[in-house]
Amino acid sequence: MIYVDNAATTKLSKRALDEMMPYLTENYGNASSLYAFGQKSKEAIENARAVVASFIGANPNEIYFTSGGTEADNQAINSAAYFGALKNKKHIISSKFEHHAVLHTLKKLEREGFEVTYLDVHENGIVRVEELKKAIREDTCLCTIMFANNEIGTIQPIKEIGEVCRERGVIFHTDAVQAVGHIEVNVQTQNIDMLSISAHKFHGPKGVGVLYCKQNVPLRSFLEGGAQERKKRAGTENVAGIVGMAAALKEVMINRETAAKHQTMLRDRLIDGLLKIPHTKLNGDRTNRLPNNVNVSFEGIEGESLILLLDDDGICVSSGSACTSGSLEPSHVLLAIGLPHEIAHGSLRITLDASNTLDDVDYILKKVPEVVSYLRNMSPLWEELELGKKEFQIK
């Protein structure tokens, strides 16, 4: 099997598992207990907190462990909205192609009386700082823009966005779930007030993540219960998960640059190869994208069928048209960069990992053109395009 869907989730690293094992077995003490056996768990959590903090350039007391990226996004946005509303500031700025953990939280806030400006991401999948400047109002309490997009991999001008927000007194949150592990993330140099991380996107375990919240930026708790995480996140800590996440981050620190170089080489080979298929288009900026992300659209086919046929060839990829819960709506990300519905439906996302090889890439480059031809030959739409009854939308 060739697994190239690393934006969906990644394999747990061996080192992370090894470091987690004691906390899944003999070291099961509750970190809140006063006896030494409980304090062992407490110590493990605090060591992990220091690792996470140093990784993103924060202080340990600015790190809150959560159940993952979704919870971190929810808490950051709901908290900034809550404190904004207290000052009668009920305007939020975001972008059109955020993850649903952000977008659905914003939709809920809109129903509760907040106003949200969704910045355009343009054809290249990147927000424009000039447009952010224009969107900021007296009553803007929060700007939330993702660091790197999970579907098309485009990287946003985070440092510049943070700078503008800081000048104008707006809290800046970024969903950095896809960025961590691939590119540099530093809350100090990049002017970030709040940031979300998820362990399972960089070879840590599922169900654990981080919310960074800068000192002096108020943070509200949304769970009633114990006093864990300095009263900001109640519930007995996921000790093994937290330890595993820190272990995975330590590996990122050592390997990231080499891994990024290798993946960029494979990525570019894939892009060049796939674009040789006629009537095919790359989605998102060619260079300002994550080292492991390839996202292309093929005219005249259904992404879903493509995924299933590639699965038969042992290739795990994702379709750009995240047809979640059986809905036929194509991906909001692909629509946001201006793709017509039919084209968005014929999309393919390949997200690599450091363990992928040239052989993997060459196998993919052999199989995808075969499957695309096969599907096109069966498609009535493709026939109309070829007969000139309809016009091609991709050159």
Ligand X SMILES: *Cc1c(COP(=O)(O)O)cnc(C)c1O
Rounded to the nearest whole angstrom, what is the least distance from the CB of residue 19 to ligand X in the complex? 19
Which lies closer to ligand X via its Cβ, residue 45 or residue 146?
Answer: 146
Separation between Cα atoms, residue 230 and residue 250, nearest integer Å: 25
Point out the catalytic residue in the list 165, 213, 316, 323: 323
Which lies closer to ligand X via its Cβ, residue 209 or residue 291?
Answer: 209
Closest-by-Cβ residue to ligand X is 69
Which residues, 6 or more positions from 172, have their beta carbon under 8 angstroms from its beta carbon? 142, 143, 144, 145, 161, 162, 165, 166, 191, 192, 193, 194
Residues in contact with ligand X by the rule CB under 6 A: 68-70, 73, 99, 101, 146, 150, 175, 177-178, 198, 201, 209
Rounded to the nearest whole angstrom, what is the least distance from the CB of residue 30 to ligand X in the complex? 24
Amino acid at site 387: L
Please state, in angstroms and as integers, the Cα–Cα distance from residue 33 to each residue in 24, 26, 234, 271, 313, following that order.
17, 16, 15, 54, 52
Which lies closer to ligand X via its Cβ, residue 307 or residue 322?
Answer: 322
Which lies closer to ligand X via its Cβ, residue 107 or residue 134?
Answer: 107
**Strands 293-298, 171-175: pairing kind:** unpaired
The number of beta carbons lying within 10 Å of the beta carbon of residue 113 is 8
Rounded to the nearest whole angstrom, what is the least distance from the CB of residue 353 to ligand X in the complex? 15
Separation between Cα atoms, residue 383 and residue 368, nearest integer Å: 20
CA 21 to chain centre: 27
Separation between Cα atoms, residue 207 and residue 66, nearest integer Å: 8
Task: Tell me whether residue 323 is one of the annotated catalytic residues.
Answer: yes
Rounded to the nearest whole angstrom, what is the least distance from the CB of residue 375 to ligand X in the complex? 28
Which lies closer to ligand X via its Cβ, residue 99 or residue 289?
Answer: 99
Rounded to the nearest whole angstrom, what is the least distance from the CB of residue 29 to ligand X in the complex? 26
SS3 label, residue 352? coil
Q: Which residues are identified as catalytic?
A: 323
